[in-house]
Amino acid sequence: MERIKFVIIEKSYLIRKGIASIINRIEHATVVKELENLDEINSALLKYTPDFIVVNIGILSDIDTFRNTEIKADLSQTGIGIASGNSAEKEKKHGLREIISTLDERDDIYNKLQSLIREKVDSRHKLSQQTELSEREKTILKHVAKGLTNKEIAEKLFLSAHTVITHRKNITNKLGIKTISGLTVYAILNNIISIGDLE
């Protein structure tokens, strides 16, 4: 199973490396990117599609850079705040999912992180048990391999383009193959389509 991905945004080198090494020790979890500030947040999120974002509460208040409201809304699900020192800040949630204080005991930190990771892993498991393509998905894959566009497939199968896109996303998630050529190879290997069909 793909691991649960974390991005850390924290100015302090010591804290950043500390939290990263803790996360990397937890089963199924991995830190994919460490950032010092919010500058590269948008591109990092696009590139790494993290499951959780660990962010210093201090930076968070730098609200202007967080103008992207989508990210903000996401943070209530994906955000883990780092509250430093003895501030009362750790009592508030700051619109985030969880808060870790630099004064937290070892077990507290592990428990908080582990329960978030566990939850994610469980929901992934439910999804990943279905790696077999459904009949519908096989049909769509066949047309994709033949080189039809989403719109053409939609017309052929009397579906909306949106539905076709959803099916395609599911196919890619199940197989871990993104490109059309890759999907075509898969379809031939699994006799969903024959080489003759491609002519």
Partner 1 sequence: MNITPDMKMADVLFHNYTLLPVVSRFNIKLGFGDKTVSEVCRNSDVNLDFFLEITNSYVDEDYIPQKELNTFPVSLIVQYLKKTHQYYLEEKIPEIERNIQRVLDAEKTINDKFSLVENFFTEYKQELTNHINREEANVHPYVLEIEAAAIKNEINKSLHSKIRKYSINDFASEHDNVEEKLFDLKNIIIKYLPPCNSSGLCNSILIELFRLEKDLNAHANLEDKVLIPKVAAMEEKLLALYKA
Binding site for partner 1 (CB under 8 A): 34, 175-179, 181-182, 185-186, 188-190
Encoding tokens for residue 166?
Answer: 């959803």
* Cα separation, 183 vs 74, whole angstroms: 31
Q: Specify burial of residue 2 (Cβ count, 10 A radius: 0-12, 13-18, 19+).
A: exposed
In angstroms, what is the minimal distance from the CB of 195 to partner 1?
8
- Least distance to partner 1 from the beta carbon of 25, Å? 18
Amino acid (one-letter) located at 97: R
Q: Which is nearer to partner 1, 111 or 190 (CB)?
A: 190
Judged by beta carbon, residue 148 or residue 188, the one nearer partner 1 is: 188
CB-facing half-sphere around the CA of 70: CA atoms within 13 A = 4
Rounded to 5 degrees, what angle do the CA atoms 82, 85, 91 make? Answer: 65
Instruction: Please give the Cα distance from 53 to 63 (Å, whole number).
Output: 16
For the beta carbon of residue 189, count every other beta carbon within 10 angstroms: 9
Residue closer to partner 1, measured from CB, 95 or 182? 182
CB of 43 to partner 1, least distance (A): 8
Kindly tell me which of 20 and 99 has the beta carbon lying closer to partner 1: 20
CB of 178 to partner 1, least distance (A): 5
- Closer Cβ to partner 1, 39 or 108, answer by number: 39
Least Å distance, CB 36 to partner 1, is 8
